[in-house]
Amino acid sequence: MDTIQFLREATALAGVPGQEGAVADYIASAMRPLCDSVEINALGSVVARKGQSGPVIMLCAHMDEIGMCVTKIEDDGCLRLRRNGGVDPRVLPAHEVIVKAEGGDLFGVVGAKPPHLLTAAEREKAVTMDSLYVDVGYDAATVRRLVHVGDAVVFKAPLVELQNGFIAGKTLDNRESVASILACAEALDRLRASAQAVFVASVQEEIGGGGARTAAHALNPDLAIAIDATFATAPGSGKFEIDPDKIAISMGPNLHPVMRKKLEECAKRHRFDFDIEVQAGDTATDAWDIQTAHDGIPTLLVSIPTRYMHTTVETAKVSTIENTGRLLAHFIDDIAREWGDIQWY
């Protein structure tokens, strides 16, 4: 797999929560050559299976992205917005966007009152969704014919390659993790692990984890691993962020302690550079929803350090994305070999 090309194409597709169909079709087509079976379930998540025997190990990476939807068409033709997922209004002004209208895509820009016209009080206030709008260039009559309240609005931001192996663009959170499970599937071909790996590209994580929760309930795996983005070191980011060259392995009350230690041992043995990320409670990832499905599923969380999360310039290192998948393949192989002798607590 060409990771950069996969992400260039995958991140270009619109897939806000509840409308991930185009992304699901693309990911399903990428998984078919690597897996024994691939399906898209009733909620829209992609479920791909690899292996015929051994423990059932679920790897879950969400494929939805943050975005917006139209709430009102103004008399001048501009569109008012609300968030669909965790959009930060501070990053919106001057962005290019695509309105996913029924009759076809409409390109637009996010406008705001020019700084020359702001009052002194307005200059001191944070940007809010209520102060922003999308301008597509048409008059109100034309816009009302083409656009409906509820239509999705997504960012227009192609993937770019930076120096030193970094890439930047929209939706790396979390299509980079989907790329890592594809890398895992490739590595499993070489390892010939005696396990049933089930790869899930889940929907609706950005609004609460419904895709992971329903997939985990249906699959009832023996072990699950959620893969997501986490915060990478950057100027002024704080002291809890992770080096972008390292894989983040989380520990916390909803993450299985024995399995986590085994994952650490696997990373050390195969010389994957990693760091521990402490999760005090809700991880705000699919791991939180998976671990309480059915009677409870032993769950781990592995993350890819990513800068500028929930913007159109999310930045991560390609080698870390690929190494995350390779580490998980070795871990699946280890667990399959030890399965009958594992002491869970």
Our measurement of the distance from residue 106's CA atom to the centroid of its chain's CA atoms, rounded to an integer in Å, reads: 25
Q: For residue 322, what are the contacts with CB-CB under 8 A and spacing of at least 6? A: 3, 179, 180, 183
Question: Tokens 């390109």 identify what position?
Answer: 107
62 is in an annotated binding site: yes
Are the beta carbons of 272 and 334 closer than 8 angstroms?
no
135 is in an annotated binding site: no
CA distances from 74 to 119, 136, 149, 158 (A): 23, 12, 11, 29
Are the beta carbons of 128 and 91 closer than 8 angstroms?
no
Q: Which residue numbers are catalytic?
A: 205
Q: Which two tokens stand for residue 342?
A: 């594992």
Q: Which two tokens stand for residue 323?
A: 């190494």
Q: Report the DSSP beta bridge partners of residue 199.
A: 48, 59
Distance from C-alpha of 25 to C-alpha of 76, rounded to nearest angstrom: 37
206 is in an annotated binding site: yes
Q: Write the DSSP symbol of residue 158.
A: -
Are the beta carbons of 246 and 273 closer than 8 angstroms?
yes
Task: List binding-site positions.
Answer: 62, 173, 206, 228, 310
Task: List binding-site positions for Zn(2+).
Answer: 62, 173, 206, 228, 310
